[in-house]
Homo-oligomer: A and B are copies of this chain.
Amino acid sequence: MNAEIIAIGSELLTPNRKDTNSLYLTARLNELGVKVSFKTIVGDRLADLIGVARTALSRASVVIFMGGLGPTEDDLTREAVAAALGRGLHRDQQYVDWLRARFADRGWPMPENNVRQGDVVEGAEILLNKRGSAPGQWIQADFEGRKTAIMLLPGPPMELTSVFEEHCINRLRQFVPQLHIASRELKIAMIGESMVDQRAAPIYKNAMDVETTILAGAPGEVQLHLYAQAESQETAQARVDSLASTLEDEFQDSVFSSNGESMEQIVGFFLQMRQATLAVAESCTGGMLAERITSVPGSSRYFLGGAVVYDNSLKSSLAGVPPLLIAEHGAVSSEVARALAEGIRERCKATLGVGITGIAGPDGGTEEKPVGLVFVAVSDGSKTDVVERKLPGDRERIRQWATLQALDMVRRRLV
């Protein structure tokens, strides 16, 4: 069963306003087994609104309108839904009296235009709103031969959630066939999106009972979202788990996360499990690696710190790289990456040390050492791995790729 969510209000069509209500509604609908197929945002023009309502009724079984239920002349959702359904609108005098009493309770007279909030689509149930003056409405209709549930909800997030939780969830449970849902999220590092797709598609296309979406995450990261519906929770879970494990077999240790965790969470998890500590010396990433690691609460248990060695003199003074090594091989070299990892590890007395050096651009590239060339090293004191990469994209993307490369190398050392 599919849904459309419609947000109403000209302010939502300005450069500064995002609709966030729909994320909450989507999560709630998904829990009930309803998928959102369309989201529409429209302003306060009646003709636009009626058109949007008609389109939605023609393509979705659950249609939720948010906003446009206030007392002003701009608030036209009631009129538009009635027109789209070909139904009348009548004033619910009982609601108007209730609203008037509510204003009186607070010692205010009710402004006369508030009576419009008692206008109800023919056949609708009124849904009381504890947090505001705009009531919701629930309508069931046969629209073009399809059973449809229609909700009108107030726009302010607190009012919307209150009315939806109290009045709509139970009604929807009656309306929607009962279904159970399970999902998984795999994350893969350092393989391009199209390459992941080429290898994953033959696998997930065989799993007809699981819906799979491939998504590019941060540079260097690809996500596989798996989603299944079934008659029982066990069956739904078994379906996504089975596909997840086949995909994990295909991508082996490139899968760094099997339940949506971030790379820095996974690295932190393994460091703690091995009772290991980490120190980093970053040149081109300029602190990004340390920043990502320390974004995880509790990272002080395994992350000691390190150095941002932008200037060559600091590569020597803070991370112990011999100046001669830099003079001989250049700051961007396998040798310097190695020395950074080994040097910072020793200075910080860490289990593992990471060194990163490269050319993030846009300037500073040469024919021999172009923009995007990055060396990443990881050392545990007895063995140091160095990886050379030519990374694509602009300064920001190169820095993000290099950061993920370093995290991935640390992870592979610990797994």
Contact = CB atoms under 8 A, between A and B. Distances in A.
Contact of A39 (B13, B71, B287): B13
Given A39-B13, A197-B113, A305-B311, A158 B394 contact: yes
A113 B70 CA distance: 51
Residue among A10, A26, A55, A305 with the highest chain B CB neighbour number at 10 A: A305
A249 interface: no
Give the number of copies in the complex: 2
B38 A52 contact: yes
Interface string A307-321: 111110110011000
Contacts of A72: 193-194, 197, 201, 214
A41 interface: yes
B40 A38 contact: yes
A294 B304 contact: no
Interface string A333-344: 000000000000
A347 interface: yes
B298 A305 contact: no
Nearest to A391: B106
Interface string A151-193: 0000010100000000000000000000000000000000011
A393 interface: yes
Contacts of A311: 300, 303-305, 348
A87 interface: no
Nearest to A155: B216
Q: Which of A18, A290, A308, A318 has the most CB of B within 10 A?
A: A308
22 contacts: A15-B27, A16-B213, A18-B19, A37-B48, A38-B52, A72-B197, A108-B192, A131-B393, A133-B194, A156-B216, A158-B393, A158-B397, A285-B294, A287-B289, A287-B293, A294-B308, A304-B311, A304-B314, A305-B308, A305-B318, A306-B314, A313-B348
Interface of A: 10-16, 18-20, 23-24, 26-27, 30, 35-43, 45, 48, 51-52, 55, 59, 70-74, 106-108, 111, 113-114, 131, 133, 156, 158, 192-195, 197-198, 201, 213-216, 225, 279-280, 282, 285-291, 293-295, 297-300, 303-311, 313-314, 317-318, 347-349, 361-364, 390, 392-397, 399
Given A74-B213, A286-B290, A295-B399, 18 more contacts: A10-B213, A11-B213, A13-B37, A14-B26, A70-B194, A72-B214, A106-B390, A113-B197, A131-B393, A158-B394, A279-B314, A287-B293, A290-B291, A295-B395, A297-B362, A305-B308, A305-B310, A313-B348
